[in-house]
Structure 1
Amino acid sequence: MSTCAGSAPAGAVTTRHQYTSRPPAPAVDAVAADLSRALFAPFRRRDQRRKAEMYFQGLLTTSGRKSVRNIAAHLGDPNAEQGLHHFISCSTWDWRPMRAALAAYAERAAPAQAWVVRSMHIPKAGEHSVGVDRLFAPQLGHLFSGQQAIGVWYASERLSVPVHWRLLLTDPWVSDSRRRDRAEVPAKASAESLEQCTAEAVLEVVQNNGGAARRPVVLDVRGGTTATTLTRLTEAGVPVLARVTAATRLAVADRALPGFRAGPLCAQQILEATKGLRRPVTWPDPARAGAVRSALASVVRVTVPDAQGRRHPMLLLGEWSDPHQPPSAAWLTNLGQSPVGRLVRLTRLPRRVDADFAEIGEACGLRDFMGRSFPGWHRHVTLASAAHTAMVLARAEHLTTVPRP
């Protein structure tokens, strides 16, 4: 058998995708108006509804960075900046019901195949914005200075929208009372690793959305997903498919395969020894409409140990972009009855999320919050998620009504 190999750093997404133009303004306006009614109706005060609508429209229409100052300038109201700043950073409204309403709206508008978990790094200088530290960005493959958040996206091959966020907080932000109070970090918050933050974000979605437990969770947070997270989610009843490193140690559970009774082996060793099981699979590229891709893939029954020494049965999914090279990706899943073709299609959904984030999420301000407080960050990213949703749904509706050339 070959020796264990570590995983290569995750590089920037370079997939070219078809949807590079903004949907027509009337299509965006129609979806935005309907979404506004669903999200902002619970506000009891009229002035809060008006500010929510102003900020939402500003995220959709302001050019450049979506700061409060730029939004107010775009709206042309000299008095708007102070009011919008207070609404985002100093008000008391709870963003969690709005996120639940956003997830419910997405559920009604377009059926999803999975929840996709994606990390988002936000470069920032200085020390005063909540969560800023020297952190590892899986997309970059190296450390950076700024904030790190875990987003949970409602995703299909056609579209994806972020419906939940968890901001990573390190020890300096929860152990320093002065820093904590200044940023309004909740008293119950505790320091987390990227892996812990990922697991908590998934469990929050499962708890807050009744249908979440019936939909698979796809984790492609390389550098932050280990067997510990997988077993924790499995014990919570969450169907999960997670990308893991080539060095992840597992035990072969199939008596007929090489490596049975050999004890823990690296994922790459297992896949290389069983590559005779590979079969061609095809899937529609979620980031390029009409394109069909193919690769070789195999599944092997394995067990994953937890901290108590118990072994959890799972499937190890291997993918080969080049049949003469080592596996290009390894995934673990507790979806034991799923055919390999369905599993491979699920592994492609993070590409849909990456494409939508790059094309629409960035432009809607997901990384643009300029304030310093924990509540302010959550309110901004929730409204930016709503703006992203309006744009994505308008684009999808427009593409279904425009004849293809």
Structure 2
Amino acid sequence: MARVVLPEDSTKEVSDAIDVLISLFFESLPRRDQRNWARVYLNGLVRTTGKKTIRNIAGAGAGSVEQSLQQFISKSPWDWTPVRRSLAQHLERTAQRPLAWVVQPMVIEKAGDASVGVGRQFVPQLGRTANCQQAGGIWLVSSEAGFPVEWTLTLPEAWTGEPLRRTRAGIPDTARTLTPAQDAVHAVQRMAATWQLQRRPVVMDVSNAELPHCVAAFALQDIPFVFKVDGSLPVSFGGAGRHKPGPHTAPARELIESLRSRRRVVEWTRHGRTERAVTLLTSAAILAPLAEGRPPPAPTAPLLLVGAWTEAALLPSEFWITNIGDRPLAQLFLLAKLTDRVSLDFAETCEPVGIRDFEGRSFRGWHHHATLASVAHAARLLGCATGRALEPGARPPSPGPSRSPAGRSPATAPPRPPIPGQAARREYIR
């Protein structure tokens, strides 16, 4: 997936890219004026300095523009799902080796209590309680770039259980209170069932308590996954065919540590960096965790627990559970590390186009804004002077040298760093 980040002052290139994206992804909007306001909003997301609020996008003294944008974003009943689906399908067609779907949590801290979904809640990513919205993006990711194509907004009970608050925010009758992980799992299931996309591994962090639900949900639809888990997770292993009766149960960290003599060494390149890194990996077959209150599932292939050490560490520090154990450990590890690719593109592109900046109060408005921010993200990463690289069926632009933000010419620009996961690497028994 070619990644062409446009310089901040590339006004024409951004506009050309946005015009093409409007024609590709907004055909579901029934009226021309809606598509025109989508164009205005997208240009505002990529050009406006500071927070990307509707007022800032409209500009000083443009009251009628602000009013029209408010209507288009917060009140107009256009459906965001076809736009997101078209974006995902286009990226599937034009991508250069897309590898996985990565679930990226997003926390938006707020000062008040009027924004839809806001509330005081414990946030694992922050390690504390915060007054915030909790959302999640589902990203299509390659070694070179990540693109958000679907979003979830977690709704606390205070929003789904209070009829007046629910009505004022325009929360649909089908929405209910779930955890962020459950919201993400349901979104992936919908995408797998109805978006006509190729099945790819889903990479996400999963808590010990929610792991059984996540495993069962994806197994139901035969969705491959790589779940990052905590080393304290109790895992069951062994049974028939072993010298000792089983199954046995132990913390994931303890099981992986017992297999340190089987470690393999993998050399790789970190996303966004040029230096090589060395990681030691080992794995063990484990049994699928059972969800409390559910009957045991039909016998299935064992899951694989993967553990990783940094080069100088005495103890393993990262752990994953996957149902695609037929791949080499190095490939599974590089899939898991695509979360770093997403974190980099989130910070460098998605945040600058204002994904956290919506200040409206409606459920519909939040999702409209998130959808347009995703398209703006794509425009920033995929745009080119003519826009031809974005046309259906066109080959992605080559990743050749381009002018740097500092103004260096291609001849003096530094060589491109190796693509993460594609640098020469060695894998052997240590």
* Short-chain TM bin: 0.7 to 0.9
Are positions 1:161 and 2:150 aligned together?
no
Q: Judge which range, 92-101 or 228-237, deviates more.
A: 228-237
| Inter-partner Cα distance in structure 1 for 2:256 and 2:136 | 30
| Inter-partner Cα distance in structure 1 for 2:130 and 2:334 | 32
Unpaired runs of 5+ in structure 1? 1-17
- Conservation of the 8 A alpha-carbon contact between 2:231 and 2:253: yes
**Shift in Å, 1:390:** 1.0
The residue that corresponds to 2:35 in the other structure is 49
The residue that corresponds to 1:13 in the other structure is none
The residue that corresponds to 2:388 in the other structure is none
Aligned residues: 385
- Conservation of the 8 A alpha-carbon contact between 1:296 and 1:323: no
- Conservation of the 8 A alpha-carbon contact between 1:131 and 1:169: yes
Q: Judge which range, 347-356 or 259-268, deviates more.
A: 259-268
The residue that corresponds to 1:278 in the other structure is 263
**Shift in Å, 1:255:** 7.3
Structure-2 change in CA distance of 1:177 and 1:362 (3 Å): same
CA deviations over 1:285-324 (Å, ceiling 9, x no partner): 2333x44322001121111222223465200010101454
Q: What is the SS of the residue equivalent to 1:251?
A: strand
Structure-2 change in CA distance of 1:207 and 1:136 (3 Å): farther
- Conservation of the 8 A alpha-carbon contact between 2:117 and 2:155: yes
Are positions 1:101 and 2:86 aligned together?
yes
Q: What is the SS of the residue equivalent to 1:94?
A: coil
| Inter-partner Cα distance in structure 1 for 2:142 and 2:103 | 13
- Conservation of the 8 A alpha-carbon contact between 1:59 and 1:384: yes
- Conservation of the 8 A alpha-carbon contact between 1:62 and 1:70: yes
Q: What is the SS of the residue equivalent to 2:103?
A: strand
TM-score by length of 1: 0.88
Structure-2 change in CA distance of 1:255 and 1:327 (3 Å): farther
| Inter-partner Cα distance in structure 2 for 1:365 and 1:230 | 33
- Conservation of the 8 A alpha-carbon contact between 1:194 and 1:224: no
The residue that corresponds to 2:211 in the other structure is 226
2:138 alignment partner, one of 139, 146, 152: 152
Structure-2 change in CA distance of 1:19 and 1:73 (3 Å): closer
1:215 alignment partner, one of 200, 204, 208: 200
- Conservation of the 8 A alpha-carbon contact between 1:268 and 1:327: yes
**Shift in Å, 1:44:** 2.4
CA deviations over 1:21-48 (Å, ceiling 9, x no partner): 6484444333322212112233221111
**Shift in Å, 1:197:** 1.6
The residue that corresponds to 2:400 in the other structure is 400
**Shift in Å, 1:190:** 1.3
Structure-2 change in CA distance of 1:132 and 1:249 (3 Å): same
Are positions 1:185 and 2:162 aligned together?
no
- Conservation of the 8 A alpha-carbon contact between 2:139 and 2:147: yes
**Shift in Å, 1:120:** 0.3
CA deviations over 1:124-178 (Å, ceiling 9, x no partner): 1222211001223333222211100111001011000100011101111111001
How many percent identity over aligned positions?
36
- Conservation of the 8 A alpha-carbon contact between 1:27 and 1:398: no
Structure-2 change in CA distance of 1:267 and 1:359 (3 Å): same
Q: Judge which range, 298-307 or 239-248, deviates more.
A: 298-307
Unpaired runs of 5+ in structure 2? 385-395, 403-409, 415-430
- Conservation of the 8 A alpha-carbon contact between 1:222 and 1:245: yes
Are positions 1:119 and 2:108 aligned together?
no
The residue that corresponds to 2:24 in the other structure is 38
- Conservation of the 8 A alpha-carbon contact between 2:45 and 2:373: yes
Are positions 1:309 and 2:296 aligned together?
yes
- Conservation of the 8 A alpha-carbon contact between 1:283 and 1:294: yes
**Shift in Å, 1:198:** 2.5
Are positions 1:292 and 2:276 aligned together?
yes
Structure-2 change in CA distance of 1:200 and 1:255 (3 Å): same
Structure-2 change in CA distance of 1:361 and 1:253 (3 Å): same
TM-score by length of 2: 0.83
Structure-2 change in CA distance of 1:223 and 1:122 (3 Å): farther
**Shift in Å, 1:108:** 2.5
| Inter-partner Cα distance in structure 2 for 1:386 and 1:72 | 19
2:337 alignment partner, one of 341, 348, 352: 348
- Conservation of the 8 A alpha-carbon contact between 1:254 and 1:300: no
Are positions 1:86 and 2:71 aligned together?
yes
Supply the RMSD in Å over aligned alpha carbons.
2.5
Larger radius of gyration: 2
Q: What is the SS of the residue equivalent to 2:288?
A: strand
Are positions 1:139 and 2:131 aligned together?
no
Q: What is the SS of the residue equivalent to 1:304?
A: coil
The residue that corresponds to 1:265 in the other structure is 250
Structure-2 change in CA distance of 1:211 and 1:140 (3 Å): same
Are positions 1:321 and 2:306 aligned together?
no
1:386 alignment partner, one of 375, 381, 389: 375
Structure-2 change in CA distance of 1:139 and 1:223 (3 Å): farther
- Conservation of the 8 A alpha-carbon contact between 2:15 and 2:43: no
| Inter-partner Cα distance in structure 1 for 2:115 and 2:398 | 39
- Conservation of the 8 A alpha-carbon contact between 2:228 and 2:321: yes
